[in-house]
Structure 1
Amino acid sequence: MKNNQYDVCVAYRIYPRVSKVPFIHQDNKFKLAQVGVETFKASLGTLKAKVFFILDNCPSEYETMILEYFNKEDIEFVRCNAEGNLATFGRQLDILLTQSLSEVVYFAEDDYVYREDVMNNAISLLNNRSAHFVTLYDHLDSYTLDIHTMHRYKILLHENVHWRTSASTCLTFLTTKETLRKTEKVLRSYCYGNWDSSLWFALTKFNVFDFLFAIKMLIKDRFYFKMLLLSWIKGWPQIVFGKKYILAQPIPSMATHMEKVAIAPGVDWQKIVNAIDV
């Protein structure tokens, strides 16, 4: 990949209300977001990052907080007026597709905790072309839900870090501009009613051709049947004619979603949070 001004370009979106039930700061989104920003900065190590903070109806104190961790010249604030989840994901796509600061791009949401100095290995895996997409989150779902456990996954070993291929992730992930351009239509379908898991199934092609499993889900669990159905409704051209993309996730996890019931296994996340001054 060609050298650019930054090692990674990030579109990081923040909304000032708590969603779901996080394992920390359940009643204080500002502190929750601060944990995310501080640990994300630590995850970068010595990498040079350009970060576009998409602030969706956030008070000015969020900008002040962010400037405690990032140099002003390395960030830009994109202020929105309560546009919501779908629209701000569209903004992330627009920003990362049109910027020319880095070939490596990262989509970030505000409710993640990161381990220190992990991003470099994730970027190295991407640059090695071992994966088209990388998530730093070792999803608990990968070990507990039939829709994930029924398939064989490949194991990847890169620079002494253990990775595995994955069927899906959330909307916090790493990729390249080249891959982003090729998959923009599928990813942007989220802005028009697709689910994150469904668009990933279309890209990775896990589950989508297992029609017996789909029938089983129709009988047993309509939620997961709808997930598979949406993959076809919103992404059938990619499923039928498109490339099968590789999504990788690390073991143990390099980051976790803060949702209390979905914490990544194998890491003491509370200890990481307790070690920072928030």
Structure 2
Amino acid sequence: VPDALKALLKSGADPLVQDAAGNRALDIAAQAENEGAVALLEETTGASSSGVAEPKVAEPKEKEEEWRWPVDGSVNDTGVNLRKGPAKTAPVLGVFRDDAGSAVLVLEEVREEWDRYPWYRVLSRALGEGWVYGQYLDVPDEAEVTPLNRYAARIELDFGYSPALAVQKFGPPEKKTTSKERLADFGVTVRIEILTYSDHEAEYWDGVLRRVEVWGGPLGFGSITVGMDAAELESLLGEPQELGEGEWHYYDPEMAFERLTAIVEESMAISWLRYEWALYE
């Protein structure tokens, strides 16, 4: 170790000081006399010979349960354009011609200071992926989205927002069944399509994801996976609303349209996951 550095360390002086910009800098020039001390400090701290350190600070990893996107949204007008990019001059990919309320999965927000509203990248079952101007889209505030809502939207994205997108993601299913069912109480007939794979099964009603069951790891619902400990599930979603024989049920007591169920073994490991959306209940 160079003598100048020994003297510096022996003195107890802190070689790290704050510069005018609030950055950490090495005050080497004032406290070390030879290039050997500078070279050693460069090697061990990343400081340059000018005395400015360039530390590599790892960003804290965001907890998966705190993600913002995707969320469920809806178009609030008719004749709304779906564009190729976040600009009014971007090519039109399609038009939402149905009544206001067309459901979309909102994937991303882009806001420019000169725009009154942000642009949102969305996924539509009918039109595919594109951008919609925020004036014509209803997106829930972040505080309004519950943890279960977040997982439901992630499940829709991960397992296929439509049957075609599911096949695009996972390939042809091992088994595919289609049927129709009359729901007399609602005066409608729904087309049911079930796609079965080696590790999961997805059920669609009129092209809308109604149910997903997963039994093969490491597949799962976001950070909730088959094989994980039930204590981890509780840390993500809290205490279940219902406890059955080896089943943990999560739902919103006031509006139980979405339900997530985990089958928990005696070892407290999750062996099966099920997501259901009550379309006509």
Q: What TM-score comes out, normalization by structure 1 length?
A: 0.28
Question: Does 1 or 2 have the higher relative contact order (CA < 8 Å, sep 6+)?
Answer: 1
- Tell me which structure has the larger Cα radius of gyration: 2
Structure (1/2) with the larger strand percentage: 2
Structure (1/2) with the larger helix percentage: 1
Q: What TM-score comes out, normalization by structure 2 length?
A: 0.28
